[in-house]
Amino acid sequence: MDLSNKKVIVIGAGISGFAAAKLAKKLGADVILSDANEKLGEKHDLTELTALDIKVVLGKQTEALFEGADLVIISPAVPRHLPLFEKVAEKVKIISEVEFAYKLAKAPIFAVTGTNGKTTTTMLLGELMKTIYGEDNVGVGGNIGTPLCEECYRIGENGCIVAEISSYQMEASSDFATKGAAILNVTPDHLARHKTMEVYQAEKEKVFAHHTEENFLVLNYDDVHTHDMANRAKSTICFFSSSQELEEGAFVKDNQLVIRWKGLMHVICNVDDMQIKGSHNIENALAALSLAFLAGGDTIKMAEALKAFAPVEHRIEPVKTIDGVTYYNDSKATNPEAANKAIATFPHIILIAGGDDKNTPLDEFYALVNERVDNLILVGDATKRFKEEALKHNYPEDKIYEAGYSMQEAVNYAHKIAKAPQVVLLSPACASFDMYEGYEARGRDFKRLVNELK
């Protein structure tokens, strides 16, 4: 991709925007980084960019900003379909940061997407791919925290890229192509931005839009939305299932993770040998194993990597055990479906839930809460609706505690009432932006407070 002396506008000064701006500059472009938040400079150090001769423009964005631009790179946090960008797109190409990454990539890209489980599956797939390509020849990036463009630029043609892909990242992506992809599940999420499930799912399906039968697509057999994608994909398809044996694909048989492919049965390892626990992690493991296997992975080496793989931070992460009560950080559960996976893992729970409410349905959530949650502690903006829904689903009112906007109060109350064999589980079923900058900050705060308990 030749950017020499081209004018590149990068929209959004988050992690992805910073990386894209610096890389475009490195490739010889004249770069402007713009963010609508005029106070961004008060929170972030922008001197690194200005030292690189990258112009930073903060505040309201107008068409004048884009005059003479050769390329616009948009960050995932910025909606592509705003009226301003629709007008700009008539004159200049607008692409996402992941599309920018793809255009720079020398190595094949293997993508993981879905509503829940992406981060764990991506991290695990990265470890599995190292058994094929070597420790230093695998880049892991995307929605996982490391900008994909950095990894695509860094990794040479003898390696591979493992990318966690969100629906936001695909909005401004049309050419993005993968060697292989896994779609874990599709449940209602981010509908405030995408408006409908159909649009949300269509963004997910872009990861296989350019596939032929030479490309691999791993799909969840048990999810009605992903199962149906097989009817539209031109890829070589491998299903996985955590609930039934398949004629071909990855599944659990006699408590063993197995892959049946082209008439041969490959036993990977026993479920109990994995460090990552829970039915959702069986699904994540099956998906990652399938994609790595199709990429040429050796089953013995993959088994070793899987058994060595430790739980991902903020996803049913054990924090501390006090008087027989273990505290778990599941802050990454930003929707009810993700929280359901964690709740289903334990029989007796003190649950801390709530936050920035996405207004998603709560019927399945409260079916599990009624079955497994001994006490419900609510925090944040979602408190009112979550309590109303709890009572509507016949959860006892005297088992509900409102901690307001204080994680400290929530943790202290949980500590006060919890008794073994109960666990204390932070699994919010909500975003975090009413109280924190992101789920990572929420999880870290929870862990800090738990570690301060006596």
User: 116: annotated binding-site residue?
Assistant: yes
Say if residue 104 is in the same domain as residue 196: yes
- Whether 29 maps to a domain, the answer reads yes
* Whole-number Å distance between alpha carbons of 346 and 411: 18
Are 325 and 435 within one domain?
Answer: yes
Q: What is the pLDDT of residue 165?
A: 92
If asked whether residues 332 and 291 sit together in one domain, one would say: no
Closest CA to 15 of 181, 193, 169: 169
**Last residue of a domain, which of 308, 336, 366?**
308
pLDDT at 197: 77
**Structural domains of the chain, count:** 3
Would you say 115 is a known binding-site residue?
yes
Asked whether residue 368 is domain-assigned, the answer is: yes
For residue 50, give its domain range.
Answer: 7-92
Same domain membership, residue 376 and residue 428: yes
- Residue 190's pLDDT is 60
Let me know whether 176 and 295 are in one domain.
yes
Using 50 as the pLDDT threshold, list the residues of the chain that sit under it: none
CA distance 295 to 139: 15
Assess whether 287 and 355 both reside in one domain: no
The CATH number of whichever domain residue 27 belongs to comes to: 3.40.50.720
With respect to residue 428, please indicate whether it lies within any of the assigned structural domains: yes
Residue 118 annotated as binding site:
yes
Domain membership of residue 1 (yes or no) is no
Instruction: Specify the pLDDT at position 112.
Output: 97
Q: Are residues 323 and 247 in the same domain?
A: no
Q: Do 107 and 216 fall into the same domain?
A: yes
> Which pTM was predicted?
0.77
For residue 256, with 0-12 CB atoms within 10 Å meaning exposed, 13-18 middle and 19 or more buried, which class applies? middle
Domain boundary among 92, 116, 138: 92
Residue 231 counted as an annotated binding residue: no
pLDDT at 203: 87
Assigned domain for 2 exists:
no
> In the β-sheet with 180-183, what is the strand arrangement from edge to edge?
138-142, 160-164, 109-113, 180-183, 216-220, 236-240, 249-253, 256-261, 264-270
Do residues 159 and 286 share a domain? yes
Which tokens hold the place of 338?
A: 């993700």
The pLDDT of residue 41 is 75
Residue 158, domain member (yes or no): yes
Q: Domain ends where: 71, 92, 113?
A: 92
Task: Look up the CATH number of the domain holding residue 188.
Answer: 3.40.1190.10
- Does the annotation list 50 as a binding residue? no
Report the pLDDT value the prediction gives residue 319, as an integer from 0 to 100. Answer: 92
Quote the pLDDT of residue 450.
Answer: 97
Q: Are residues 160 and 303 in the same domain?
A: yes
In this structure, what token pair is assigned to residue 80? 């592509």
pLDDT of residue 194: 59
Residues 202 and 284 both lie in one domain: yes
In this prediction, residue 454 carries a pLDDT of 81
Q: Do 198 and 328 fall within a single domain?
A: no
- Please tell me the predicted confidence (pLDDT) of residue 345: 86
Whichever domain contains 379, its CATH number is 3.90.190.20
